[in-house]
Amino acid sequence: MTVRITANLRVSRRIPLLQTLKTSVAVVLAWVISMWLLPGELPIFAAMAAIFVVQPSVNQSLGRALERSLGVVGGVLVALAIGLVFGQSSWIVLAAIVLCILLAWALKLSPGSANQIPISAMLVLVLGAATPTYARDRIIETILGAAIAVIVNALIVPPVLLTPAHDAVTRLTLEVAATFDRVATALLSPQKYADLETLMIQARLLRPMLAKAERAISQAEESLTLNPRQARHREVLDADTDLYARLVPLVTRALGMTRALRDHYDDSLHLEPTVQAFAIELERAAHDLRLLTVPSDGGPASAAPAFEPPALTAPLMIMTPHPQHWILIGALMEDLRRVREEITGE
């Protein structure tokens, strides 16, 4: 039980050291500048804003700055009104906290703003006299600390999360191509039931890989939003996003082919002349798909033969299949036609 509680207090990976250093710089600047502009009170609100606003991306920092500022403004105004009317007894502070919590719920505020309103109200009522001047200074102090944190996060090497997105899309592309190759191999020789089940299990792994690639692209897009360095990286992300969009239906086709093969397979399937030709075209499709992967530095295509005829460059001669096979062959041919459209972009 103790081990479980302790595990909940720690994370598997530390936040980047650079983000920690940026937070420290933002806190120091916010503290010094606030002391210079608003002497007399320790700039606690500015330091708190700087701590919470520095985030992994500039876009997240701006969003957190808005949440923090709106929360502080709301909390300070509530504290000011309650302090002027009812004073500052302990029961009044407690009532102000509860009122702020209910107000945030009624207004459907985000968690950042909803938490900040009661905290700000409590600090204003407890740490300082609830006067218009004090309330004004705390609002200015918070906005100043948040603004400094956003600027620091934008100027000191803002993170660009392109590599994880590119790697995730590349791995997904290669795995879809490998799925096509595995289906082609299974069509060329007799398969056992266990082999077909293994093929299906491997194909199902494409779904979580697709979801992972989607999350990585979303994080990369967010890291470029409001990032001063986004212009030099936008082309790489756009290429990965375009490839991901083409992979979405290809994953569906790969799963459909594998499922159709497993459900309609019999030991004489590899003897069909059409199936032999189909397997060759499917291998070509896998090859052409691999050619779509490019290094994250925008260099030439990944290692592969310089040229290979694209899938289905010539019409396949479809001979009348055995009645037991025509459903499977028809399904595979339609899936291959759509695979070719996605790979060639037609």
Query: What pLDDT score does 179 carry?
Result: 92
Same domain, 224 and 286: yes
Last residue of a domain, one of 96, 120, 155: 155
Query: What pLDDT score does 298 carry?
Result: 45
Here the contacts of 288-291 (C-beta below 8 Å, separation 24 or greater) are 288/343, 288/344, 289/173, 289/176, 289/177, 289/180, 289/250, 289/343, 290/173, 290/174, 290/177
Same domain, 246 and 339: yes
Note the pLDDT tens digit of each residue in 234-289: 778 888 888 999 899 999 888 888 888 787 777 766 666 677 777 888 888 888 88
Same domain, 166 and 151: no
Query: What pLDDT score does 170 carry?
Result: 92
Same domain, 233 and 202: yes
Residue 112 sits in which domain range?
14-155
Note the pLDDT tens digit of each residue in 121-153: 887 777 765 566 777 888 888 889 888 988 888
Note the pLDDT tens digit of each residue in 191-204: 888 888 998 999 99
> Is 32 or 321 the better-scoring residue by pLDDT?
32
Query: What pLDDT score does 196 carry?
Result: 84
Alpha-carbon span 52 to 65, nearest angstrom: 8
Q: Out of 50-54, 71-75, 90-94, 323-327, which region has the weakest mean confidence (pLDDT)?
A: 323-327
> Do residues 223 and 161 touch, judged by C-beta distance below 8 A?
yes
Query: What pLDDT score does 305 carry?
Result: 41
Same domain, 220 and 94: no
> Is 100 or 156 the better-scoring residue by pLDDT?
100
pLDDT tops 50 at residue 312: no
Last residue of a domain, one of 102, 126, 155: 155
